[in-house]
Amino acid sequence: MADYDVTQSYMQDISLGTSIIAVSFKGGVVLGADSRTSSGSYVANRVQDKITPLADTVYLCRSGSASDTQAIASYVQYWIAEHQAEKNGPVDVSTAANLAMQLSYNNKNMLQAGLIIAGWDKQGGGSVYAIPLGGTLLKVPYTIGGSGSAYITGWCDKYWRDDFTEEEARAFVVKALTHAIARDASSGGCVRTVTITQAGVKRDFIPGTKLAATFGELPTPASS
Amino acid sequence: MSGIGTGYDLSVTTYSPDGKVFQTDYAQKAVDNSSTAMGIKCKDGVVLAVEKLVLSKLLVEGSNRRIFNIDHHAGMAVAGLQPDGRQIVNRAQDEATQYKSFYGESIPGSVLCERVASYKHAFNLYWSMRPYGVSSLLAVHDKAAGPQLYLVEPSGIAHRYYGTAVGKGRQSVKTEIERLKFDQISCRQAVVECAKTLYKVHEESGKPFELEMSWICEESGWKHARVPAELVAEAEQQAKAAAEESDMED
């Protein structure tokens, strides 16, 4: 059915050329993402929200095909709603991650979705799960994803610690994304973070102009 | 007996003028005529016990199971029509494995109870099928709610219990265990109490019987398992002694 010329950049699949990250700390998790949605070299949305709620205290970072990840998020939200009604209580992060994995794995040939699921629940505290392209489910202390993640793997390995406080975890997330955005053409815009603890959910937003300049970058002019 | 529901008891889709569904009541009678099964939720686990009447000397001991594993963390004791009971066990096992495969966690007790109850209830709705003549005692342990005991009746009614019994001796058993302090009794003590109670209740019948017991507790690794044979034997000894004592007091 591809009788249009897919090399024309505006015809390419909408992709979340992306940088996403999630880090757990004692008592919760911090999720972070950039805000660029690209269609080839056209930036379809420069203020996209890639951190999607699945339940009150479980959120999803989306990378890959925008439509695929939106569809997955939609299904998982629905199943979680049913599950919480039957169980009469909030969903566990591990359960939410399992549901997303089922979709990802069973439809691996048709989907392009790199997911990070993170949140807080009474059983496991703050937890982070990575679900890369093939549908593997990995429980991890922190993880990065999207096209921009390739440029910060070494940096994250070096500066991550397993005893972050909430503020340190958030600072780590923001710095990591700043570096990824600086080097990845498919990542950009602003940095969004979501912090989840037993107390609830805090959303934050840092405009691109307010991000610290990385090596070789000109600092933002004072007037901006 | 046969005069009671005349005309209104032929089908599960017919109400009687006083609001009963007689077929459901008759299914309950099938359970009431079965040998006694009981369960106790203690402070540190759940114990299930069944009085198995020995129908013939030709039967191999320990066969004719009345207590089944539903999953590692859940077990079911069956009272009533045994073949019906086997179907309910199969259904519960399917629910448990499907839940785990989809949600990645063991089925919670309340959810398993709901699934079994909804399933049984469906057979009280349709003309083409009869209700299951089975009451199920569910022993479950999950991290969120700890040890739990549920009873699901043929009608689909289900409740969560500290202790309960079904079958012929249920009234006597319930009277006996009512005095127990459920938040203080341990599983080991409950095993002895179950044995004592079933022996006491059985006294009235006089026929030989086997005691089948299972539990979920720390000692069993929080898995549903048969109570170890030595403990059962010990409990039976204590039960027989207690029964003789009360005989002498008469």
Instruction: Give the pLDDT score at A176.
Output: 98
CB contact under 8 A, A123 and B111: no
Enumerate residue ranges in chain B where pLDDT < 50.
1
- Interval A83-106: pLDDT, tens: 999 999 999 999 999 999 999 999
**Nearest CB neighbour to A94, from listed B102, B105, B144:** B105
What residues pair up with A195 in beta bridges, in sequence order? Answer: A30, A202
- Interval A167-203: pLDDT, tens: 999 999 999 999 999 999 999 999 999 999 999 999 9
Separation CA A95–CA A137 (nearest Å)? 11
Output the CA angle A170-A174-A177, nearest 5 degrees.
135
- Interval A70-88: pLDDT, tens: 999 999 999 999 999 999 9
Model confidence at A12, in pLDDT bands (50, 70, 90)? low
Mean pLDDT of A153-167: 97
Distance from CA of A214 to the nearest CA of B (A): 42
Task: Please choose, from the candidates A178, A168, A186, A184, the residue with its C-alpha nearest in 3D space to the C-alpha of residue A212.
Answer: A178
Instruction: Give the pLDDT score at B205.
Output: 59
- CB-CB neighbors (< 8 A) of B116 in chain A: none
Counting Cα atoms < 13 Å in the Cβ hemisphere of B146 gives: 10
What residues pair up with A52 in beta bridges, in sequence order? Answer: A60
Burial class (CB in 10 A: 0-12, 13-18, 19+), B102: middle
Instruction: Give the pLDDT score at A217.
Output: 87
Catalytic residue among A18, A57, A178, A195: A18
Instruction: Give the pLDDT score at A216.
Output: 87
Sorted by where each begins, the domain ranges of chain A are 20-210
Q: Over 60: is that where the pLDDT of A155 sits?
A: yes
- Left if phi > 0, otherwise alpha if psi is -120 to 50, otherwise beta: which for A73? alpha
Instruction: Give the pLDDT score at A14.
Output: 62
Q: Over 80: is that where the pLDDT of A11 sits?
A: no
Tokens of A181: 């955005």
Q: Over 70: is that where the pLDDT of A39 sits?
A: yes
Q: Which CATH number fits domain B19-54+64-245: 3.30.1490.20, 2.60.34.10, 3.60.20.10, 3.90.1150.10?
A: 3.60.20.10
Share of chain B above pLDDT 90, in %: 85
Separation CA B136–CA A199 (nearest Å)? 40
- Interval B103-126: pLDDT, tens: 999 999 999 999 999 999 999 999
Output the CA angle B86-B91-B95, nearest 5 degrees.
150
User: Please, are residues A16 and A63 in contact by the beta-carbon 8 Å criterion?
Assistant: yes
Instruction: Give the pLDDT score at A221.
Output: 83
- CB-CB neighbors (< 8 A) of A99 in chain B: 102-104
Side chain identity, residue A187: S
CB contact under 8 A, B143 and A123: yes
User: Please, are residues B198 and B36 in contact by the beta-carbon 8 Å criterion?
Assistant: yes
- CB-CB neighbors (< 8 A) of B105 in chain A: 92, 94-95, 98
pTM, whole model, 2 decimals? 0.87
DSSP state of B207: S
Separation CA B63–CA A72 (nearest Å)? 49
User: Please, are residues B159 and B136 in contact by the beta-carbon 8 Å criterion?
Assistant: no
Across chain A, what does the average pLDDT equal?
Answer: 92
Nearest CA in chain B to A90: B144
Separation CA A137–CA A149 (nearest Å)? 18
Q: Over 90: is that where the pLDDT of A41 sits?
A: no
For B18, list phi and psi in degrees, rounded to 5.
Answer: -95, 25
CB contact under 8 A, A88 and B110: yes
DSSP string, B72-120: TTEEEEEEE-HHHHHHHHHHHHHHHHHHHHHHSSPPPHHHHHHHHHHHH
Q: Over 50: is that where the pLDDT of A218 sits?
A: yes
Q: Over 70: is that where the pLDDT of A110 sits?
A: yes
CATH of domain A20-210: 3.60.20.10
Task: Please choose, from the candidates B143, B138, B192, B146, the residue with its C-alpha nearest in 3D space to the C-alpha of residue B44.
Answer: B146
Instruction: Give the pLDDT score at A9.
Output: 47
Across chain B, what does the average pLDDT equal?
Answer: 93
For A192, list phi and psi in degrees, rounded to 5.
Answer: -105, 140
Instruction: Give the pLDDT score at A6.
Output: 52
Sorted by where each begins, the domain ranges of chain B are 19-54+64-245
User: Please, are residues B96 and B70 in contact by the beta-carbon 8 Å criterion?
Assistant: yes
Q: Over 90: is that where the pLDDT of A118 sits?
A: yes
Rounded to whole angstroms, the maximal C-alpha distance in chain A is 55
Instruction: Give the pLDDT score at B14.
Output: 94
Instruction: Give the pLDDT score at B1.
Output: 47
